[in-house]
Amino acid sequence: MELAVIRANHRATRSRTPKDAKIMTATPIMTSRPGVPFVADDPRWARIVARDRNADGHLWYSVSTTGVYCRPSCPSRTANPRNVQLHDTLASARATGFRPCRRCNPDGPSIESGNAALVAKACRIIAESEEEPSLSRLADAVCRSPSYFHRVFKAATGLTPKDYAVAYRARKVRQELAHGNTITETIYEAGFNSSGRFYEKATDMLGMTPSQYRAGGVNEEIRFAVGPTSLGVILVASSRKGVASILLGDDPNELVRNLQERFPKALLIGADRNYEALVARVVGFVEAPRIGLDLPLDVRCTAFEQRVWRALQDVPRSPGSAGVGRQRLPV
């Protein structure tokens, strides 16, 4: 292996002046220290080829032909490993004298974590706003154009900012009602500007009327299923009218207890094979374990719950089915 390096250097320098040749031999055009494998054989190189985001912050690489150094997840075209040097520290990458890549900003936060910070900030604004903030207000708050912000938000959460705001507000409605607040208080607290708007959305948010929900699911049959997800255990529960509850947690028994506490007056039906199969299919469909890794956990959970909620609403309604639907679930 060492021999090959010497030959490669020799070929590269043959047409140059002896002075240049000396410089070239001293320049590490590949990992050529005795006993150190070629970059292409190095397991760290495989992470760079895969643009492994998990390697960001632990590994850098410099490219002698372009004179830049990058983080592993850099979206630029994969360099020829013969021109690459691997670095386990940022200081070592900087010591090459090369410049930091403009695309991946190896000296600062990654593009994904930078975008995640924008999305997390927008989600905080949504949570703290009395009324649903507009796209342009959110984009302004994070100093990005509405179209860029919309794209980044969707990529990180699988939802539009509007979807997320709707989910957040619906969750608030459920919390307010579950805590025994009146419907009028709930309408106000959740930022609905008219009771008409609230009642229009109530079944989508609660799977029953607000007064039934507040009264513990009185006169409702609720089917539920529990299953594993990338974010822990999920419990999904639907009445005949729609989705009534989605809970995420670590302990399935605790989730079932939470459901019982929320709907003490409803008939809760577990172990319904059709419903369990439906929930498993929907959860599998919306699972996206690789997106939003840099987001705060509560934002990831809210986004995930909403993706499940929405997908269940899209399941066609059939007699006896617990799904409510407008369109067919894409497969």
Q: Which residues have a catalytic role annotated?
A: 70, 74, 101, 104
Smallest separation (angstroms) from Zn ion to the CB of 52: 14
Which is nearer to Zn ion, 76 or 209 (by Cβ)?
Answer: 76
Token pair 């000396």 is found at 22
Which is nearer to Zn ion, 22 or 103 (by Cβ)?
Answer: 103
First to last CA, the chain: 50
Say whether 241 sits in a helix, a strand or coil. Answer: coil
* Cα separation, 105 vs 131, whole angstroms: 36
Residue 100 bridge partners (DSSP): 69
Smallest separation (angstroms) from Zn ion to the CB of 73: 9
| Closest C-alpha among 185, 193, 205 to residue 312 | 205
By the 10 Å C-beta count (0-12 exposed, 13-18 middle, 19+ buried), 14 is classed as: exposed
HSE value, Cβ hemisphere, 13 Å, CA-based, for 89:
3
Smallest separation (angstroms) from Zn ion to the CB of 113: 15
* Cα separation, 96 vs 64, whole angstroms: 9
Per CB under 5 A, residues contacting Zn ion are 70, 74, 76, 101, 103-104
Contacting residues for 197 by C-beta, under 8 A, at least 6 apart: none
* Cα separation, 17 vs 190, whole angstroms: 76
Which is nearer to Zn ion, 88 or 251 (by Cβ)?
Answer: 88
Joined together, the tokens standing for residue 61 give: 């690489």
Smallest separation (angstroms) from Zn ion to the CB of 104: 3
Token pair 């900012």 is found at 161
* Cα separation, 254 vs 297, whole angstroms: 19
Which is nearer to Zn ion, 19 or 102 (by Cβ)?
Answer: 102
Which is nearer to Zn ion, 101 or 116 (by Cβ)?
Answer: 101
Which is nearer to Zn ion, 101 or 322 (by Cβ)?
Answer: 101
Element holding 234 (H helix, E strand): strand 232-238
Smallest separation (angstroms) from Zn ion to the CB of 66: 9
Measured in degrees and rounded to the nearest 5, phi and psi for residue 225 equal: -140, 145
Smallest separation (angstroms) from Zn ion to the CB of 147: 24
